Every structure is written in structure tokens, then in C-alpha cells.
Structure 1
Amino acid sequence: MAEKPVEQYYTRPPKLGKWEGFRTFMWNSETSQFFGRTGASWAKILLFYVLFYVSLLGFFFAMLAIFYQTIDLHTPKWQLENSLIGSNPGLGFRPMPPESNVESTLIWYRSSDSENYKYWVEELDKFLEVYRKPNTLTSGGENRQICDYTSDHKGEKVCDVMLSLFGNCTKENKYSYHRASPCIFLKINKIFNWIPDYYNDTESLPENMPKDLKTFIGTRSQNEMNTVWVSCEGENPADVENIGPIQYYPTHGFPGFYFPYKNLDGYLSPIVAVWFKRPTTGVLINIECKAWARNIHHDRQERRGSVHFELMVD
């Protein structure tokens, strides 16, 4: 007669306290497990993750290397009409209002209070710092040369911006803010390889170009005609009445020898200082400045080819 098998019953493991349970989890001498795994198990999972992340990192760098083979760090792949920014440059102005009022375009100060207009002067100092540094101290400064309308700079040199030509709009003169006749600086947006189609003859000037600009163009030599002209006007009849006389430094626009922008080392965007000689004080003046070339189209709603700001001097 076969022996009756011995029945075995499940024995509930002894109840351990919190500290004893944690010590057993850290190291179980009966199963040789450390934190719930044996040494072989930990080695396998560690090897898996090492191989996984090494493969992932290798794949990333391989894709990055392939990506860099398709681009040029100095020349954009998509240019002018084929790019997102297009071929119609806009204008920017400085100084800008404080970041706390980022959506504002109002320049408002009291000319009799040095602490009040101090912000605007310091903002212009910061903006012009890169233009003010000596060439030898500025990155790419040795790549700059002094240009004029007869210069031949088709090589790897770029044209310098000479702040000494900015008349009353200088740091030493506090940009005339203390005289209630502030200077506003305009810059044209950089578009790679964009070449202006100049208004370089008085016969083809557009009808809506300001008369004073047309008169100025008529006095220029043929070489000086190669300029992206700039004009600033009051937007409304009341603004035209209150804006007062205006003078531009160093000239009435952006000289053509700064174009095209090729992303060369040391390049500085050309700037124009607009000196508002005697704006009516205590009045908000809406001002629109435009850049003029045949291939610059103006759209007041989208601010294409122009910039708007308000000026109020107390």
C-alpha cells in the first residue's frame, strides 16, 4: 500500500516590524537579494540600461551629424521670398519703453528732471555700446573699414558705423533729451542677401513720398542716390502740426554700402538718428517713420517698411 503523501501547509511568514522589514528589503540573507534583486539581476538590468542609453545617445549624435551636413552656419538655406521673414524689411526704433510696459511704444519724459529722462539716455547708451567700442576690442572689429559712396567693399570687409557723424545725437550731449529735443534711433531689419532697389533718380519718386525728402534727394549726387531713404512724419494733422522740425544723422537714410547683409564677422546694422528739434511739449505726438526703396512696401496695419511710436515731452 502506497504511503500517503505528507501534506504541507503554507506557513505565514513572520510579521516583521517596519525597521526589520526595511532591513530585510535592503539585504535578504536567505535569498541573497539586495533591494529586491540578486546581484545577477542587478547586473543584467544595469547592462540593459547602459546599452540602451549608449545606443540612444549614438543615434542622437548620428542624426545631429547628418542634420549639420544639410545646413550652413553662415548662410540660411531659405532666403528672401522663400524664407519666413520674406523680403520686405521693417524698421525698429530705440530707445524702447521699459519691459514692464512691453506693448507700449510711448517715449514720455520730463526734460527738466534728469532722473526722469535718465532711463531713456541709458537705454541708448546700451544700444550704442557695440557701435562705440574700438574696432580692436570688438568681436570682428578688425574686419571693419570706413566706407563712403565711392568705396569698393565687395570682399570680406564690412562697413563701420561712425558715431562721430551723429551731430547732436551723441552720448556726450545726452542725445538732447535734456533740451526737450530728443533723438530717436532707427535701424532697418537685417534680411540676408537683400539688395535695395533704390529710388536713385528724381523722376521715379513715389507721389506719397514727403516733399522735404524729395527736395533732399534732388540735391544729392548720383553716388549718394544709392540710399534707403528714411522719413518721419506725424500720423495725423494735429501730429504734423506738433512734431516740429526734424534733422537726420548722419544722412537722410541708410547708405547703400551697408547692403547686402551677408552675416560677415563684425557687421553692424546701419542706424539713423532722428533729431526732433522742437516738438510741442505737453502733447502726445503720433509718429510714423518709413524706409523708402522700390522693393520696400508699406502697410500701416502690419507695420511693413515702417515703424510707429509716440513721443511726449513735458
Structure 2
Amino acid sequence: MSSPDQNQEQDQKQDQEQDHKQKQEPNQERNQEPRDEKDATKEEVKEEKTEEKKEENPEEKKEETTEENPEEKKEEKTEEKTEDKEEKKIKKEEKKEEKKEEKKGSWKDFIYNPRTGEFLGRTASSWGLILLFYLVFYGFLAGMFSLTMWVMLQTLDENVPRHQDRVSSPGLVVRPHALEISYNRTDPTDYNQYTQQLHELLQYYNDSIQEQNDLCLVGEYTEQDDEPVKKVCQFKRSTLRQCSGLPDGSFGFEEGKPCIIIKMNRVIGLKPEGEPFINCTAKRDTPLQMQYFPPEGRLDKMFFPYYGKKAHPDYVQPLVAVKLLLRKEDYNVEQTVECKVEGSNLRNSDDRDKYLGRVTFRVRVSE
């Protein structure tokens, strides 16, 4: 029989052994865990070494690839390129067709879009508003323009212009309307054009027409500023006598002694001072005989001033006819004649204007 003390000692030993076993078990687990981690790291190192070996031997890979047929590779590449090109062409054609369809659709939609009801990009209400705006805007502009024109016209005189752009001194013109008169006196068809122009000019000076006009005071101005209807002074065609075309319908062209009619341009309000007359001279060594109608080529003051086309509609300006008394030795020779307004304050020697107060013409008669 064992004593109780012995039993207690055995129990204590057993307890100590159990405690020792429990302490050893976690230590074993701890020792196993680092071993597993070491094995994993070893495997990773092996894999890295194998990869390095693969990278270190690219020549072997090249040799492997070169062992394959290069011709087959080239054929494969060319086939791939052609396929890529064909695919690109197809895609381009598809894009072009899509663009054309989009354009057609966009033009149709721009003209009239049935979805939104727009015509040329605007709805009916939008068109109505913009048309109303432009109607009001342009109506306002037209009204302003009409108002300004009306105000301006109220300040103007319909008979006399406020600003005259014409010169104060008139110019001279000749009839027939030609600065070079050349004809054969034995051939009527050669000078008919000249005589016809003179007849057309003098038909307004026929005595039957001029007798309806007023007899004015010779040598005095006919001033009519305050009269609403301006009277016209008589200038009868018969006062031109041999150059009137009444006794001689050829105006002296047939006999080789042509008549040239000189008239002065109209200038509104012109009142020449002194006693104006027309004087003609031939540019040659010996003087050329001439005959004036009216006598001395006078331009009477009673035909001045002129009040304008509206206030003075039946006005006729005074004329001076010059008959060139040519002789046989003057035939077939060009005669240069210059006529000027003299005896007044009218200008006749301005080098910038050769027709201001003067005129030059040439005559050549042959037989």
C-alpha cells in the first residue's frame, strides 16, 4: 500500500509532464512555419534563375526562329498587308457613302424638316417674326429718307439752282455741228448734211413763231425777277438775211461762200456788261472777208438775263451768222477761223478752256 504522500508526488509529476508537452507543441509549430517559408523562397529563387537563363540565351531563341521558313513568314506578312489595305478601302468607301447619305439628308432637312416643321432652318413663327422686324425696320428707313428729301426740296427753287456748277462766262458753239467743214461745192450731196443742220436749228426762229413773242427794248436788259411767267423777246429768222436760208436754201454752200452760225451757251442770270459782239479772224497772212448778220455781229442785251428752262421754256438765244466770202484762189485751201466774244466783261482768252468765250473751226471748199 502506498502512502498518500506518494500519490501526491505521482500526481505532481504527471501534471508537470503535461505542462512540458503543452509547451513543446507550440514550439514545434513555430519551427515548422519558418521551414515552409524557406521552401517557398527557395522555389521563387529557382524560378528567377530559370528566367535569367532564358534571357541570357536569346541567340538560342533566334536560332529557333531562324530554323522556321522565312519565305512562309514573308507570305504571311504580305497577305496580312493586303488584307489590311482591303479593309481600309472598304472602310473608306463605307465612310464616303455615309457622308453622302448624311449630306443628302442634311440638305433635305435644311429645306424642310418634317420632324420639327422647319423651313430653311426656321419655323413658321420664326419666319413671321423676322419678316415683321424687317418690314418695320425698312419702313422706318423709307420714312426717314422721304422726310429728309421733302425737307431738302422745300429749300430749293425749281427755277434757279442754288449752287451753279457752270462757269460765269459762256462758251461758243458753231453750226453746222462740225469743227472741220470740207465739201465740194459742185456736189450737193457733199454739203446737204451741213445745210440740213442749219434748217433744223432755224425752224425755232421762224417769223411765224417769233411774232408770238414780245417786242423788247433794244439795248436794255429784260429783267423779270418778280414775274411768274417770263416773256420771250423776238429773234426772227429773217434778221439773218442771206444766212437765214430763206433766199438761198443752200446757205451759200453752193456758191462757195458758206454761212456759219455762232451761238452762245445759256447761263442762268447772265447779264454781260458793255456791248457784246462776235468778231472772227482768219489765221493767215492776208485777211479773209466776212459778212455778219445781224450787222457787226451784235448780241443785244434785251436777250439777257436767262431764267432757266422751267421759268423760261420758250426762250431763244441770239444768233450771229458769219458768211465767209471766199474767192477762187481760196478754194482747195484749208481756212482756219477763230471767233470770240468781245466788247464785254465775258472771258475769251482762257488757255485751260479753248471754248470759253471763243471757238475755232476750219473750212475747206473745193470745186
Asked if these proteins are the same fold (TM beyond 0.5), I'd say yes
Corresponding position: 1:183 with 2:295? no
1:47 to 132, 139, 146: 132
- Deviation of 1:38 after TM superposition, in Å, equals 1.6
> CA 1:89/1:14 → structure 2, altered by over 3 Å: closer, same or farther?
closer
Counterpart residue number, 1:234: 282
Deviation (angstroms), 1:14: 8.8
Q: 1:87 aligns with which of 152, 155, 168?
A: 168
CA-based RMSD? 3.0
Q: Which residue of 1 aligns with 2:300?
A: 255
- One-letter code of the match for 1:120? Y
Paired amino acid for 2:142: L
Q: Give the match for residue 107 of structure 1.
A: 181
The aligned residue for residue 206 of structure 1 is none
CA separation of 1:162/1:305 partners in 2, compared to 1, >3 Å: closer, same or farther? same
Where in structure 2 are the equivalents of 1:18-33 lying within 5 Å? Answer: 24-33=109-118
**Structure 1 residues 147 and 277 mapped into 2: Cα distance closer, same or farther (>3 Å)?**
farther
Letter in 1 for 2:257: S
Within the candidate set 355, 358, 362, 1:306 is matched to 358
| Aligned with 1:289 (options 319, 334, 339) | 339
Amino acid corresponding to residue 326 of structure 2 in structure 1: R
Q: Deviations over 1:254-304 (max 9, x none)?
A: 111111222223111111111113262211111111112331233163333
Change over 3 Å in CA distance of 1:54–1:135 after alignment to 2? farther
1:143-180: CA deviation from partner (whole Å, max 9, x where unpaired)? x3244527895443121221122222234512222222
CA displacement, residues 93-114 of structure 1 (integer Å, 9 cap, x when unaligned) = 11223xxxxxxx2122222222
| Aligned-partner Cα distance in 1 for 2:202–2:135 | 52
* Equivalent position of 1:58 in the other structure: 143
* Selected match of 1:192 from 250, 260, 268: 268
Residues 284 and 34 (structure 1), Cα distance of their counterparts in 2 relative to 1, 3 Å cut: same
Q: Deviations over 1:77-123 (max 9, x none)?
A: 24xxxx543432322211223xxxxxxx2122222222221221222
CA 1:123/1:152 → structure 2, altered by over 3 Å: closer, same or farther?
closer
Helix, strand or coil at the partner of 1:178: coil
- Of 101, 113, 118, 1:15 maps to 101
Instruction: State TM-score, norm by structure 2.
Output: 0.61
Change (3 A) 1:119 1:75: same
- 3-state SS of paired residue (1:42): helix
1:190-241 deviations in Å (ceiling 9; x for gaps): 222222221xxxxxxxxxxxxxxxxxxxxxxxxxxxx42111111342xx44
Cα separation, 2, equivalents of 1:52 and 1:134 = 59
Are the aligned partners of 1:25 and 1:36 in contact in 2 as well (CA < 8 Å)? yes
Distance 1:126 1:63, change over 3 A: farther
- What is the CA–CA distance in structure 2 between the aligned matches of 1:131 and 1:295, rounded to whole Å? 27
Change (3 A) 1:116 1:25: farther
CA contact (8 A) 1:117 1:177 kept: yes
Q: Are positions 1:161 and 2:235 aligned together? A: yes
Query: Whole-Å Cα distance in 1 between the matches of residues 190 and 180 of structure 2?
Result: 14
Query: Aligned partners of 2:315 and 2:160: how far apart in 1?
Result: 14
The answer (yes or no) to whether the contact 1:196–1:293 under 8 Å persists in 2 is no
Task: Give the aligned partner of residue 221 of structure 1.
Answer: none
Judged with a 3 Å threshold, the aligned counterparts in structure 2 of structure 1 residues 115 and 21 are, in CA distance, closer, same or farther, namely: farther
After superposition, the Cα gap between the structure-2 partners of 1:129 and 1:43, relative to the gap in structure 1 and judged at 3 Å, is farther
Deviation at 1:37, TM superposition (A): 2.3
Amino acid at match of 2:139: V
Write the letter of the residue equivalent to 1:306: R
Report the alpha carbon displacement of residue 68 of structure 1 after superposing the two structures with TM.
1.4
Q: What is the one-letter code of the residue matched to 1:61?
A: S
What SS does the aligned partner of 2:302 have?
helix
> Could you say what secondary structure the match of 2:174 adopts?
strand
For the residue of structure 2 that corresponds to 1:187, the secondary structure is: strand
Matches within 5 A, 1:259-270: 259-263=304-308, 264-270=312-318
Report deviation, 1:24: 4.7
Q: Indicate conservation of the 8 Å contact 1:149/1:255, yes or no.
A: yes
- Matched residue SS, 1:109: strand
Structure with greater helix share of residues: 2
Shift in CA distance, 177/52, structure 1 to aligned 2, threshold 3 Å: farther
RCO higher in structure (CA 8 A, sep ≥6): 1
The size of the alignment, in residue pairs, is: 254
> Which residue of the partner structure matches residue 125 of structure 1?
199
Distance 1:14 1:246, change over 3 A: closer
The letter of the residue matching 1:234 is: A
